[in-house]
Amino acid sequence: MAEKKINGALKTALELGPIAAFFVAYLWLKDEVFTIGGTEYDGFVVVTAGFIPVFLASIAALWWLTGHLSRMQVVTAVLIVVFGGLSVWFNDPRFFKMKPTIIYLLFGGVLGAGLLRGQSYLQSLMDGLMPLTHEGWMILTRRLMIFFFGLAILNEVIWR
């Protein structure tokens, strides 16, 4: 299926809307405790349970409208379902809080693997967006790899 173009504002709303809704709901419900089926759930777990279907609906709408999802969107959706589902299933928000660390390690690892092979995976992904030499792409890839690993460390420091 060929990728169709959609309005930029609509695409941004579909990509960022669920995240914004998650944060608003979290700020509103973070101190609440909900009893469902005799089990107490804190606000974070309840908001996570609501975020998963909203995010999946958003991704489905993007796919329906454009006919395409990027690898990053698919990986993010899988990780949200897995780690969000684990958080809800075990009533433990730590799983969901580890998800960004996993994503950052995955991105940094993929970029690092490309560097070890002498390739810049960013170049194949973004070649038409920035006019860089091969050396420039390698430098940018190295810096982004370090950035992602730094974000993984920072996420672990912040949530723990």
Which distant-in-sequence residues (6+ apart) come within 8 Å of 108 by Cβ? 145, 146, 147, 148, 149, 152
**43-59 b/e (C-beta count within 10 Å ≥ 16 → b):** bbbbbbbbbbeebeebb
Whether 152 and 102 share a structural domain: yes
Whether 45 and 87 share a structural domain: yes
Residue 2 banded pLDDT, cuts 50, 70, 90: low
C-beta separation of 134 from 124 below 8 A: no
Whether 98 and 137 share a structural domain: yes
Whether 42 and 99 share a structural domain: no
Element (H, E) at 119: none
| Greater model confidence, 124 or 146 | 146
User: What DSSP state is assigned to residue 33?
Assistant: E
Whether 10 and 28 share a structural domain: yes
Whether 56 and 103 share a structural domain: no
pLDDT value for 49: 96
Which domain-ending residue is among 62, 91, 120?
A: 91
Whether 39 and 113 share a structural domain: no
- Tell me which residue range forms the domain holding 136: 93-160
pTM higher than 0.85, yes or no? Answer: no
Which distant-in-sequence residues (6+ apart) come within 8 Å of 144 by Cβ? 107, 111, 122
Which domain-ending residue is among 91, 106, 123?
A: 91
Whether 155 and 116 share a structural domain: yes
Whether 59 and 113 share a structural domain: no
The number of folded domains in the chain is: 2
Whether 131 and 79 share a structural domain: no
Whether 5 and 83 share a structural domain: yes
Which domain-ending residue is among 91, 115, 147?
A: 91
Q: Residues 18-47: pLDDT tens digits?
A: 999 999 999 999 899 999 999 999 999 999
Whether 5 and 41 share a structural domain: yes
